């Protein structure tokens, strides 16, 4: 969806022969991902005057089948002039010193100082003639400094909000029959990223039958969940999450109606590509159902658990994290004798003196044993029971293309734990076959005067009549922007030809199409 430019003059100013870029680079010094600004105007500093260069990239992953493309986190690199050592963390006279350097004291009394530039929120706005759009929202991921004959600079490699979620791993309890959108929202809330939840995420076609996390990162899981029915997950320019389902390019207005036309006057180079290597003759999509397996022993201790005696000040404490053999809908509190029996070395029961506190997730349990007595407690052969969930045997949907263009190239899609049902696998297999059965036409445009409102998934028109007689419609899959003061504000565009992504031109839209309309046909 192209960003809205309604009410602005950006459309006019962006295509003028002489353009005057307008830049705003906000850095929320002293803040982190956990204290992300909710008001950039008051909670950040505009550092645009220091920019030597800035470039940023966002893309859909085109390495695999288009239908299952994930989106790598968008990245931005900015170089700032540091002639006065403003950005030098160890410069104690610098204006930002207190925001750039932290210190702590070790257990042995040593003072350790370190720059606290990691995950500092940033925002870039670009436009023309004083009108700007937010084109990147993220965090500093990799700061660097350079001092020398070419001047003093700092460079910050930044990632979008997805980069923050990549580094946040969690375990959850088991959830059932979950809409992908709801699962994404839940995971983002779990990661403390409520402020980054997008408001217009798509609904999924199917429920995810069983979902849980077991020490897994949020971004990857959201991407896999989206891919389980041919969708995409990423963060947009404003730092909000986006989930687009399989119908994205066939449904959204900006994907079905051209947002911008690139004529030869609007780029310096065009490189059409024809990808025969990925032409498919079919698709194999694996799915693995899950089913309740009833009450099972899901963990047994590997050795004797020793709980030290308490003191007059505090009870004895031993902690243990058990990874369960199966994910569980419910883990039962251990029953004395059947599941555990704390004793002293002489076999005397200490069940009245030793307690257990548990934090239960779908596939792991954190246990704390509390010993209120003055003698050591031993727990042998402890076990945990729960309502387990079994992974059924893996099955697959096998689709073959009726008239293949190459001898044999069956695309296999496996290892997505969110594909658990045959309808999910059917949908993915159909999409892959639709999109990969012809040599994929791609376009790379370089030296393009930047159009900052363009977004991934937008439909564009490419008009280059000499090499390509008829204008082509294409879907944007990658955007590279670059700007430096007194230089050009340019972009590179990668797009995939829109023809053949789907087998039909017009689909049945619920709420708009008429029943029995001959031109409105069913999507996959």
Binding region for other proteins (CB under 8 A): 176-177, 179, 203-207, 209, 247, 250-251, 291-294, 421, 423, 426-427, 430, 434, 503-504, 507-518, 520-524
Residue closer to other proteins, measured from CB, 150 or 516:
516
What is the rounded CA–CA span in Å between residue 435 and residue 13? 37
Q: In sequence order, what DSSP letters do the residues of 277-302 get, joined into one string?
A: TT--SEEEEEEEEEEEEEEEEEEE-S
Residue closer to other proteins, measured from CB, 172 or 179:
179
Residue closer to other proteins, measured from CB, 205 or 235:
205
Residue closer to other proteins, measured from CB, 169 or 422:
422
What is the rounded CA–CA span in Å between residue 454 and residue 480? 11
What is the rounded CA–CA span in Å between residue 234 and residue 228? 15
- 176 torsion bin: left (phi>0), alpha (psi -120 to 50), beta (else): beta
Q: How many CB atoms sit inside 10 A of residue 46's CB?
A: 15
Find the helix or strand (DSSP H, E) in which 327 lies.
none
Nearest distance, CB of residue 329 and other proteins, angstroms: 8
Nearest distance, CB of residue 519 and other proteins, angstroms: 9
Nearest distance, CB of residue 368 and other proteins, angstroms: 28
Residue closer to other proteins, measured from CB, 82 or 178:
178
Q: How many CB atoms sit inside 10 A of residue 431's CB?
A: 26
CA 262 from chain centre, in angstroms, equals 30
| Burial of residue 34, with CB atoms counted within 10 A of its CB: 0-12 exposed, 13-18 middle, 19 or more buried | exposed
CA distances 74 to 120, 158, 200, 432, Å, are 16, 8, 20, 25
Residue closer to other proteins, measured from CB, 126 or 429:
429
Find the helix or strand (DSSP H, E) in which 209 lies.
strand 207-211
- 61 torsion bin: left (phi>0), alpha (psi -120 to 50), beta (else): beta
Residue closer to other proteins, measured from CB, 87 or 243:
243
What is the rounded CA–CA span in Å between residue 380 and residue 382? 6
Sheet (strand 383-400) strand order: 328-331, 383-400, 282-300, 410-413
Nearest distance, CB of residue 232 and other proteins, angstroms: 16
Nearest distance, CB of residue 146 and other proteins, angstroms: 51
Residue closer to other proteins, measured from CB, 193 or 283:
283
Residue closer to other proteins, measured from CB, 71 or 421:
421
Nearest distance, CB of residue 218 and other proteins, angstroms: 22
Residue closer to other proteins, measured from CB, 48 or 507:
507
Within 13 Å, how many C-alpha atoms sit on residue 336's CB side? 10
Nearest distance, CB of residue 59 and other proteins, angstroms: 25
Contact (CB, 8 A) for 385 and 297:
yes
What is the rounded CA–CA span in Å between residue 458 and residue 497? 12
Nearest distance, CB of residue 502 and other proteins, angstroms: 9
Residue closer to other proteins, measured from CB, 167 or 504:
504
CB burial string 386-423: b at 16+ within 10 A, e below: bbbbeeeeeebbebebeeeeeeebbbebeebbbbbbee
State the maximum Cα–Cα separation within the chain, in Å, rounded to a whole number: 93
Nearest distance, CB of residue 349 and other proteins, angstroms: 26
Find the helix or strand (DSSP H, E) in which 371 lies.
strand 364-371
Residue closer to other proteins, measured from CB, 29 or 183:
183
Nearest distance, CB of residue 424 and other proteins, angstroms: 8
Nearest distance, CB of residue 201 and other proteins, angstroms: 12
DSSP state of 376: -
Strand pairing class (459-464; 258-263):
parallel
């Amino acid at each position: 969806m192209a960003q809205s430019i309604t009410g602005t003059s950006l459309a006019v100013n962006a295509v003028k022969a002489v353009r005057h870029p307008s830049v705003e680079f906000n850095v929320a010094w002293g803040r982190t991902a956990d204290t992300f600004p909710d008001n950039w105007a008051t909670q950040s500093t505009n550092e645009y005057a220091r920019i030597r260069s800035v470039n940023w990239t966002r893309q859909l992953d085109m390495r695999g089948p288009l239908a299952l493309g994930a989106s790598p986190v968008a990245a931005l690199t900015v170089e700032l002039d540091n002639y006065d050592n403003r950005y030098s963390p160890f410069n104690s006279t610098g204006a930002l010193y207190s925001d750039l350097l932290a210190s702590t004291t070790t257990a042995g009394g040593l003072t350790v100082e370190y720059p606290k530039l990691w995950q500092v929120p940033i925002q870039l706005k670009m436009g023309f003639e004083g009108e700007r759009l937010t084109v990147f929202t993220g965090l500093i991921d990799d700061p660097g400094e350079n001092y020398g004959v070419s001047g003093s600079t700092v460079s910050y490699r930044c990632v979008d909000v997805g980069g923050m979620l990549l580094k946040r791993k969690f375990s959850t309890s088991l959830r059932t029959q979950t809409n992908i959108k709801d699962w994404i929202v839940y995971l983002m809330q779990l990661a403390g990223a409520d402020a980054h939840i997008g408001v217009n995420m798509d609904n999924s076609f199917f429920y995810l039958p069983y979902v849980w996390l077991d020490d897994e990162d949020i971004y990857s899981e959201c991407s896999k969940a989206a891919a389980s029915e041919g969708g995409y997950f990423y963060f947009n320019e404003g730092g909000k999450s986006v989930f687009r389902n399989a119908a994205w390019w066939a449904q959204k207005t900006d994907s079905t109606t051209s947002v911008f036309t690139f004529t030869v006057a609007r780029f310096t180079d065009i490189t059409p590509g024809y990808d025969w290597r990925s032409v498919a003759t079919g698709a194999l999509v694996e799915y693995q159902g899950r089913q309740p397996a009833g009450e099972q022993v899901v963990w047994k201790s590997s050795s004797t658990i020793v709980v030290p005696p308490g003191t007059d000040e505090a009870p004895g404490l031993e902690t243990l994290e058990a990874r369960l053999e199966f994910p569980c809908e419910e883990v039962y509190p251990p029953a004395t004798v059947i599941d555990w029996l704390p004793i002293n070395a002489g076999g005397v029961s200490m069940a009245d003196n030793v307690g257990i506190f548990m934090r239960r997730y779908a596939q792991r349990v954190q246990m704390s044993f509390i010993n209120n007595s003055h003698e050591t407690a031993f727990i042998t052969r402890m076990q945990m029971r729960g309502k387990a969930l079994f992974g059924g045997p893996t099955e697959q949907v096998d689709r073959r293309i009726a008239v293949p263009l190459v001898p044999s190239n069956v695309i296999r899609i496996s290892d997505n734990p969110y594909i658990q049902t045959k309808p999910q696998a059917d949908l993915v297999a159909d999409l892959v076959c639709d999109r990969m059965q012809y040599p994929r036409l791609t376009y790379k445009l370089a030296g393009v005067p930047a159009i900052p409102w363009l977004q991934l998934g937008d439909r564009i028109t490419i008009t280059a009549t000499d090499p390509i007689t008829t204008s082509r419609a294409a879907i944007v899959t990658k955007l590279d922007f670059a700007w430096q003061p007194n230089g050009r504000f340019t972009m590179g565009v990668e797009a995939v030809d829109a023809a053949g992504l789907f087998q039909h031109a017009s689909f049945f839209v619920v709420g708009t199409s008429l029943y029995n309309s001959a031109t409105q046909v069913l999507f996959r």
